[in-house]
Amino acid sequence: MVERPAADATTFEIGEARLRLRDGLRFSLRQNDGAPCLFIEDESQMLFYRLGLAEYTFISLLDGTRTVATALSTACSASPGDGLTEHEATELCHWLVEAGLAETPSSRSARRILQAEESASKAWFAQWLNPISLRIPLFSPDRLLTRLEPYLRWLVSWPAFFLWLVVCGMGALSVMMEWSRFSSASLEVFSRDHFVYLGVTWLLLKGIHEFAHAFVCKRFGGRVGACGMVLLLLVPLPYVDVSSAWRFTSKRQRILVSAAGMLAELFVAAMAALVWSRADAGVFSYHAKNVVLTASLHTLLFNLNPLMRFDGYHILVDTVGLPNLGRHGQAFVRDLGRRFLLGLPTSRSTLGGWRRILVAGYGIGAACWKILLTITLTVGAANLLPGVGLLLASVGMVLWLALPTIQLIRYLVEGTPYEQPNRRRFATVVAGLTASLIIIGTVLPAPTVISAPCLVEYEPIHVIRAEASGFVREVLVEPGNVVRLGDPLVRLENAEQTARLSDLECQLTAANLRANEQLEKLNSAAYQAAQAAISALEQQVNELRQQQRQLTVRSAATGVVIGDDLQDLSGSFLQAGMEVLSIATEEEKEVVALVTQRDAQYLSAAVGRPVDIRIRGSLAKGHGTVRSVEPRLQNEVPHYAFAGTYGGPLDVIRRQGADNEQDAGEAWMLLEPRVVVRVSVEESVGRPWRAGQMGLMQLRARTQSLGAYLTDRAWGWFSSKIRLTHGI
């Protein structure tokens, strides 16, 4: 049976029509799933189709002189048991004309030719007007590949494949063995400060990717017709035309051509992983890590996705043996819309069994993905450059949304000379869908749960301060140590104070000697004066000795030591009253959550309400009670774990004039101000948690319709992006 998209009915009398196959078609006999079939190559459009032998026998008789009825009768006489039915022949002729593979006298008329040329010209003009995705062909690399092929043909061989397996295995193993270092260090790769390096790396890797496609195609005897650049959001990406690989009779060769780019990138990623695992921290290690992520993560997420016309799509098509799967899927979605929205009849698809189910699923999935991709590209273009991004997004919206809408309205009003849509059905369906959406959006409640990122903190925290001034001589504890009340923590020294104490002690000794001398001489007046001096000196000595004892900083509670880089305190000078470290107890913790400004309106009566808490790494769900809600919005970062630059969930921007030496709360500020909510937890709940752990707080407090909730969320996200890029 022929595998093709279902076509619209045409206006000619099929039995008496005289069809002729269009020039520029190439036919080749192949085996598919053990059965012979015929492949048709449309050289002008670079499209491929597959027909059964019965279908080919029929269409080979369409030479423009025979009628369709005569050709069908002749084909059935040649193959009495395998001939086509009249219905199958009719659908096949409809499809040949609609696909542009056959011509009729009406389709060869000057008017039809002029209409086709105008449609092609409009499509070409629309492509060049699209600033978001623009394809620019440059030259044909076929000659260059012909010269390189004798020197590089060993790359497509079994020894090269075994080398690829060994290198990729070693690269994956090196990353797995140092996964903690790799995952923590990889966060900086996606930092905004490194987008230029990331873009250059991506461009070079895509060049290697496309060269691999072209070379493997040439190695198997194909022709690389063209190469060029695709400007995606003004980002140049290389491309090559290897559609000639469809001429290969070997399915393995066609799949290898499609997978060559991903295999090349994974090999480069493995080599970069080996370099990264052996390089010291620095610029070289950073770029190697950049290559690993770009060449592995990006190529698997995008190139392997079968819903896009990239490598994964072509591999899927060859694997299932269904050429033009994308066109089949588009035809299914189009016929679905014509049938249910416009009430127009559609031809029954000749695909059967699992192929029909695959086409239906692929068509719906690809349509949903296209909508999602269109929205993503439009939003990405709007946030590309200040001012220019909004212009690009506006042009994209006109091309992708406004023009198709205008064409649909025009078709609904005027129809065509060949068919008229069922306007009443269209209005009824659209009104029903609109009413259903309005009812769903206004009647159904929004999710009542307010979710916010949260952090476990100690509460209360005993701040330990220096009681006397001095230089730090010795730090006796480290962060995380458990100490008891009165344990020494830090020893200070004050040379000036020590020297003064020694001098006063000498003066006190001398004063005692003078007093004893006056006592022996029975000089009562002098003795009383000496005693007064001794009392004053003793008071000063006692005060200095007390200050000396205060040079040893001791714990004011039993708990865990909290502090950053305590060993760096050695040699530094501490003024009396300065904070040294903190002491907290594992039994006393609280949870700090940052709620969005949109949800802050529902927190007026939240104090005392129960909340659910899910901590990362913990399977059990904890419970707590809202203790307080701060009345004002703040953009300060209460803990660096919240900041996206440190792997946290919230977007932050650097403060003007901030440097890398400052604390996270001082160097960074939240992109969107939030409200701080503090949650009390019981000792049994908080004991397994560790301070600094991130999680999610869930509070049932929102009262809003589903439509308002979704609209508010979408607009809030989009407006924050626009405000960040364009300042409006």
Query: What is the residue-wise DSSP string for 128-184?
Result: HH-SSEEEEEEE--HHHHHHHHHHHGGGSSHHHHHHHHHHHHHHHHHHHHTHHHHHH
The answer to whether position 2 is within a domain reads no
Residue 514 near residue 530, CB atoms below 8 Å = yes
Look up residue 679 and give its amino acid: V
The answer to whether position 36 is within a domain reads yes
Report the SS3 class of residue 74. helix
The answer to whether position 168 is within a domain reads yes
Residue stretches of the chain with pLDDT short of 70? 1-15, 31-36, 43-47, 78-83, 87, 104-133, 180, 183-197, 232-235, 281-283, 347-352, 380-393, 395-396, 399, 417-418, 564, 657-666, 720-728
Q: Which of 321, 347, 370 is the last residue of a domain?
A: 321
Environment class of 178 (CB within 10 Å of its CB; exposed 0-12, middle 13-18, buried 19+): middle
Number of folded domains in the chain? 5
| pLDDT at 81 (0 to 100) | 59
Question: Dihedral (C-alpha) 271, 274, 276, 278: value to the nearest 10 degrees?
Answer: -140
The answer to whether position 66 is within a domain reads yes
- Contacts of residue 528, defined as CB under 8 A and 6 or more positions apart, other chains included, come to none
Strand ranges across the sheet with 47-51: 25-32, 35-42, 47-51
The answer to whether position 437 is within a domain reads no
Report the SS3 class of residue 474. strand
Place of tokens 């043909």: 153
What is the distance between the alpha carbons of residues 710 and 712, in angstroms, rounded to a whole number? 5
The answer to whether position 555 is within a domain reads yes
The 8-class DSSP code of residue 485 comes to T
Residue 325 near residue 362, CB atoms below 8 Å = yes
Q: Is residue 546 domain-shared with residue 693, that is, in the same domain?
A: no
Residue 318 near residue 258, CB atoms below 8 Å = yes
What is the distance between the alpha carbons of residues 561 and 572, in angstroms, rounded to a whole number? 19
CA atoms 672, 673, 678, 679: torsion sign: negative
**Is the model's pTM score more than 0.85?**
no
Q: Is residue 183 domain-shared with residue 309, that is, in the same domain?
A: yes
Q: Which of 321, 346, 369 is the last residue of a domain?
A: 321
Q: How many residues does the chain have?
A: 728
Question: Dihedral (C-alpha) 373, 670, 181, 189: value to the nearest 10 degrees?
Answer: 50
The 8-class DSSP code of residue 329 comes to H
Distances in whole angstroms, Cα of residue 300 to Cα of each of 352, 645, 648: 31, 25, 25
Structure tokens belonging to residue 88: 């199958």
Q: Is residue 387 domain-shared with residue 294, that is, in the same domain?
A: no
Element at 51 (helix H, strand E): strand 47-51
The answer to whether position 211 is within a domain reads yes
Omega of the bond leading into 159 within 30 degrees of 0 (cis): no
Q: Which residues pair with 590 in a beta bridge?
A: 457, 680
Q: Is residue 681 domain-shared with residue 716, that is, in the same domain?
A: yes
Q: Is residue 294 domain-shared with residue 178, that is, in the same domain?
A: yes
Task: Residue 235: give the domain boundaries.
Answer: 130-321
Q: Is residue 520 domain-shared with residue 576, that is, in the same domain?
A: yes
Q: Is residue 335 domain-shared with residue 282, that is, in the same domain?
A: no
Distances in whole angstroms, Cα of residue 206 to Cα of each of 135, 238, 261: 15, 7, 8
Q: Is residue 571 domain-shared with residue 601, that is, in the same domain?
A: no
Q: Which of 305, 321, 337 is the last residue of a domain?
A: 321
Look up residue 171 and give its amino acid: G
The 8-class DSSP code of residue 400 comes to I
What is the distance between the alpha carbons of residues 489 and 505, in angstroms, rounded to a whole number? 28
What is the distance between the alpha carbons of residues 69 and 296, in angstroms, rounded to a whole number? 57
Residue 112 near residue 12, CB atoms below 8 Å = no
Q: Is residue 193 domain-shared with residue 300, that is, in the same domain?
A: yes
Report the SS3 class of residue 606. coil
Residue 224 near residue 214, CB atoms below 8 Å = yes
- Contacts of residue 493, defined as CB under 8 A and 6 or more positions apart, other chains included, come to 470, 471, 473, 551
Rounded to 5°, angle at Cα 174 from 205 and 191 = 50
Residue 398 near residue 407, CB atoms below 8 Å = no
* Residue 554: CATH number of its domain: 2.40.50.100
Q: Is residue 510 domain-shared with residue 571, that is, in the same domain?
A: yes
State phi, psi for 372 to the nearest 5 degrees.
Answer: -60, -40
pLDDT in tens, 277-336: 887 766 677 778 888 888 887 777 778 888 887 888 888 888 887 777 887 788 888 888
Rounded to 5°, angle at Cα 238 from 235 and 242 = 145
The answer to whether position 487 is within a domain reads yes
- Contacts of residue 372, defined as CB under 8 A and 6 or more positions apart, other chains included, come to none
State phi, psi for 611 to the nearest 5 degrees.
Answer: -135, 155
pLDDT in tens, 337-372: 888 888 877 766 666 677 788 888 888 888 888 888
Q: Is residue 577 domain-shared with residue 611, that is, in the same domain?
A: no
Q: Is residue 289 domain-shared with residue 350, that is, in the same domain?
A: no
pLDDT in tens, 569-595: 888 888 888 888 888 887 788 899 999
Could you tell me which of 263, 245, 261, 264 has the C-alpha nearest to residue 253? 245
